[in-house]
Structure 1
Amino acid sequence: MAKKPQLEHSELSGEFTEDDVTVLVDIYRPAGTQQDWRLEVVTQNEDLFEWDAPFATDREAFDEFLATVARDGIHSFLDEEDIPSTH
C-alpha cells in the first residue's frame, strides 16, 4: 500500500468567514520540496473544491481564492439549500 506523502501547509491556510459562511482554505504542497502550491476549499458540509492549476506561490493561491470570493461570492461554494436565509 502506497504511503501518503507528507504535506506542508501554508501559513495562509485556515478558516475564512464572510456573510455568516465559514470555509476552510487549504494551501499545500509536498513537504520538503519547492513544488507549486495547491488550493482547496472545504465547506462546513465537507464539500471539496479543488483548483486544477497549481500556483507558484502560496500568496498567488490565496489571492485566487480572494478573487473568487470577490467575483462569485462566498455562497458560490455552497449548495442552494446550504445558503443561510435572512428574514
Structure 2
Amino acid sequence: MDEDFAPRESDLSQTYREGDVTVQIDIYEDGEGGWLLEIVDENNNSTVWEDSFDTEQEALDEALDALREEGIAAFVGPVQEADEHW
C-alpha cells in the first residue's frame, strides 16, 4: 500500500435506522482495489469486516443483509462510561 494513500469513503456509506437505534454504515477504499466495511453505533463502537469486498455495492449489500438478519442490536455495543479519575 502506498504510504501517501488516503482512503476514500464510498458514496454508498449511509445511516441505517431501526426503531430508535441508528448506526452508520461506512465503506472505504482499501488501497488495494477493494472496499472495507465498518458499522459504527451512536457510541462509536464499531464492527469491522476482516475481508474486503470487490465492489462498494457488495459491501453495502453485506451490511444491509447482516443488519436485517442479525438485527441492529447485534451491532450496538455498550455505552462507554467516562473515567472520572482523569
Range into which the TM-score falls when normalised by the shorter chain = 0.7 to 0.9
Q: Secondary structure at the match of 1:9?
A: coil
**What do residues 5-54 of structure 1 show as CA deviations (whole Å, max 9, x unaligned)?**
31111111021111211111110115xx6610000011101101100010
Q: CA RMSD, aligned part only?
A: 1.9
The CA distance in 1 between the partners of 2:26 and 2:50, in whole Å, is: 14
The CA distance in 2 between the partners of 1:71 and 1:19, in whole Å, is: 15
Structure 2: stretches of 5+ with no match in the other structure = 80-86
Residue in 1 that maps onto 2:55:
57
Residue in 2 that maps onto 1:44:
42
Residues 4, 43 of structure 1: alpha-carbon distance in 2 compared, 3 angstrom cutoff: farther
- Is 2:32 the partner of 1:21? no
Structure 1: stretches of 5+ with no match in the other structure = 83-87
In the superposition, the TM-score normalised over structure 1's length comes to: 0.77
Identity of aligned residues (%): 35
Q: How many residues align?
A: 77
Displacement over 4 Å in runs of 4+: none
Q: Which amino acid aligns with 2:33?
A: Q
The CA distance in 2 between the partners of 1:78 and 1:34, in whole Å, is: 29
